[in-house]
Every structure is written in structure tokens, then in C-alpha cells.
Structure 1
Amino acid sequence: MFRKIIFLALFILPSMLFAQNKFVGVDACGMCHKSEKQGKQLDIWKSSQHSKAYETLKSEKADAIAKEKGFDKPAVEVEDCLTCHAVGYNVSADLKEKKFNVEDGVQCESCHGAGSEYKSMKVMKSKEESIKKGLLVYDDAATLCVTCHNDKSPTFKGFDFEKYWALIKHDVPE
């Protein structure tokens, strides 16, 4: 129950506040966030397990776990699995731009919110303006991470936030 409340507070309510925003996809974000000057966020994501999160749901192991949990369909179709392995799977097509691909898994907009209104260079030059347009940023990333990385996950083996954050930290250099 607590996990659902946290998930609602961190993912659903902010997305309702910016309901006009569409998911643009990792390629749109990566157009600017791939250079050394910007912090190479795209490369960091590509080399992370987050970029493979959706793919793991296509495995026999994932299907076996889904079956064990009482689901009668493949893991890639189970909302309980998709909640942590993808973003945008549960929104209408009119809230997804053409290049958005749910199979990109846990990508930029999973944490930072649908990007159509803040993706432009003009907006992104101002952190304050980006936030007004829907960019989600966190003072405490661990709170967000543990909504999925916790003992409710059937594959949970512990979560050392500092260790894993070091692998995916992706600040924009100042």
C-alpha cells in the first residue's frame, strides 16, 4: 500500500499536473544530452540496466516470475511489471509523440516527466522555466529509486543507492 502511495505521489500526480505534456522519447532528449559539454547523459543511460529494463520482461525468466505471481499473460503485458520497467505504456496515443517508444524501458521521462513542453533548447536553458513546463527534478533521488528498487520486486536482492547512483548519475555540468 505504501509503495502505491509513493508511486502515486511521485509519478501519477506530477503527470496529472502536466497532463498536456506528451512523451517525446529518449532520442529527443538525447539530441542535446549526448555531448561531453552537456554531460553525456545519453551514453550513461545506454550503458545502464535502465535502458534494458523493458527487454528483461521479454525473457523466459520474467514470464516464469509473472506466472508464479498468478498472472496468465507474458510479463511484458503485466501492469505490475510494466510499472517499473517502462514509461508511457498506460497513456493514450495522443500523449505520445511519434518517436516515443515504450520499449526504451526506464528512460529520461520515467523520472523527469513527459518532455514535450520542456524539451526545447530555449526552455532547457533555464532550470526554473523547465520545471515550470514539467521537468521533474529531485533533491532526494533515492526516494524515487526505491519506488521500484525495493523488496516488493520479485527479483530484489538489496539496493545500495550510493553504489548504483554512481553508475547512472547524470548531472548537467555547470
Structure 2
Amino acid sequence: MIPEQFQNPGFVVVALLAGFLGFVPATVSSEEVAHLGDASAPLAHDFVGARKCKSCHGKELMGNQNATWQKGPHRRSFKTLASPESLRIGRERDLSESPSESPECLACHVTAFGVPAERIWKPLQAEEGVQCESCHGPGRDYRKKKIMANLKNARKKGLWDPDSDHGICQRCHNDSSPTFDPNRYTLLDGTSVGFDYQQAAARIAHPIPEHVKGHYIELREKQKEEEERQK
């Protein structure tokens, strides 16, 4: 059963993929990210949801990051809360609610949990799990193509950069998680760690083609013209 607060179109869930756009310092720190689930925390930008991101990031020209997300673990994050393992963990932790209704679990298995309804610009679906904006920041102010064409401007409008701030990921990928494995990743020196950004990011890699970065608008226009000629 989906929690009542997520049945409200204005209060549902957001998050995961705009593409790794470069190594520009993030304007939002991991400390701020850690408060995303706190309804009392001030937010500078509003959430729009992965469906809005898909309008560009679902196109082959852009690299179709949406398709990668659809097949990836973040997309399934809410559904995993109904798995036998999650139910077992819920019993062991003596949760007062099922994992799919427990704030302790929802904080990392959906996006914008606890964020006020007025900061959710577009209706979101809990079943879609962790979407683009969990990793790349609430996108209402940077979503437009003209803004995204200039990374510096996009950062000013709220685009986050996990490449330069790994704490964005470690907000959830840490030893507070009951499934966290402290030896999951092996570093080059043979050391075992619970989280390594480079290896973790490689598993969900969804890059924008180099020749498209900063040139999407003009390339898309040329593509449209070619499509018209072929009709």
C-alpha cells in the first residue's frame, strides 16, 4: 500500500538522472542534501520529476539517460521495500509500519520525502522510486534547454554535481542502511570499502555524448530539419 502522503499528487516523489555533465563544483553541498527529507528545511528550488527530465534526456541524441534509469536500481528502489528481505529487515527493526510506509525507509527509497507539497511542481509517483533530482537537485529552475546548455548557469539555478560532491550519494549509501556492506567495493590498493563513488557511478553510467554537451539545441534543430525533409 502506498503511503497516503504519496497519493497526494502534490506530495509524491522525485529524483535521479540528468547525466554526468562535467566536473564543475556543485553549488549545493552534501550537508544541504542531508536535509532534503526534512519538511522544515528551506529549499531554494522546486522538484519537477523524471518525466520532465525525459523530454530531453529520453532522446537518443542526448544519450537517452532515461532508458538507463528505467533499467537501473534507483528506479526499482521503492518496489524493493515490498521484497521478502525488506519485510524481514522491517521485522528485525521492529518497525511500526511496513517498509513501504515507514519514514525510516522512504527517506532513501523515494525522492523528496517530507518535502512540502508547494515545493513539488509536478505530480510524482512513489512507484518510480529514486529519480533524477535526488542526485542532480530540484530542477524547476535549471530544466530549460537554454539554461542546461551552460553548466555554470545551470549550477547557479540549482543543478548538483555528484562528481564533485560524493556526499550527495552518501546521504543514503552509508552504514545507516541495513543492507550496507562495508566490504562491497575493492580499491586499487586492495582495501575494501562500503562505498566508492567511481565504481558505483560506473554501474549506473548515463553520460551525455561529448559532442552534444553545450550544443544540444542546435543539434536538435538540425535533427528536426532532417526529419522534416524525410517526410
Q: TM-score, normalised by structure 2?
A: 0.64
Aligned match of 2:115 = 91
Of residues 21, 27, 33, the one that matches 1:10 is 33
Aligned pairs (5 A) from 1:11-160: 11-12=34-35, 19-140=43-164, 142-157=166-181, 158-160=183-185
Q: 1:164 is matched with which residue: 190, 200, 204?
A: 200
Task: Tell me the TM-score normalized by structure 1.
Answer: 0.82
C-alpha distance in 2, partners of 1:98/1:71? Answer: 31
Question: 3-state SS of the aligned residue for 2:75?
Answer: helix
Structure 1: gaps (5+ residues): 1-5
Inter-partner Cα distance in structure 2 for 1:43 and 1:126: 24
Change (3 A) 1:63 1:8: farther
C-alpha separation in 2, matches of 1:8 and 1:28 = 26
Per the alignment, do residues 9 and 96 of structure 1 end up closer, same or farther by CA in structure 2, a change over 3 Å counting? closer
Higher gyration radius (CA) = 2
SS of residue matched to 1:149 = coil
Question: Cα offset for 1:87?
Answer: 0.7
**Structure 1 letter corresponding to 2:184:** F
| Identical amino acids, percent of aligned pairs | 35
Bigger Cα displacement from structure 2, 156-165 vs 85-94? 156-165
Report SS of the residue matched to 2:147: helix
Cα offset, 1:67, TM superposition = 2.4
8 Å CA contact 2:47, 2:122 repeated in 1? no
Give the number of the structure whose residues are more often helix, by fraction.
1
Q: Give the 3 Å change call, closer, same or farther, for CA 139–20 of structure 1 in structure 2.
A: closer
Q: Post-superposition shift, 1:47? A: 1.1
How far does the alpha carbon of each residue in 1:119-152 deviate from its partner, in whole angstroms, 9 at most, with x for none? 1112111111111111111334644333322333
Amino acid at match of 2:201: W
Aligned residues: 167
Alignment partner of 1:111: what SS?
Answer: helix
- AA aligned opposite 1:50: H
The 3-state SS of whatever aligns with 2:159 is: coil
Aligned residue type for 1:147: R
Q: Take 2:108 and 2:175, find their aligned partners in 1: how far apart are those partners?
A: 13
Query: Kindly tell me: are residues 116 and 138 of structure 1, through their superposed partners in 2, closer, same or farther at Cα, counting changes over 3 Å?
Result: same
Relative distance call for 1:68 and 1:7 in structure 2 (3 A) is farther
RMSD: 2.4
Measure how far apart 1:57 and its partner are: 1.2
Rounded to whole Å, the distance in 1 between the matches of 2:53 and 2:205 is 16
Equivalent position amino acid for 1:114 in 2: P
Alpha-carbon shift at residue 96 of structure 1 (Å): 1.2
Segment drifting more, 66-75 vs 99-108: 99-108
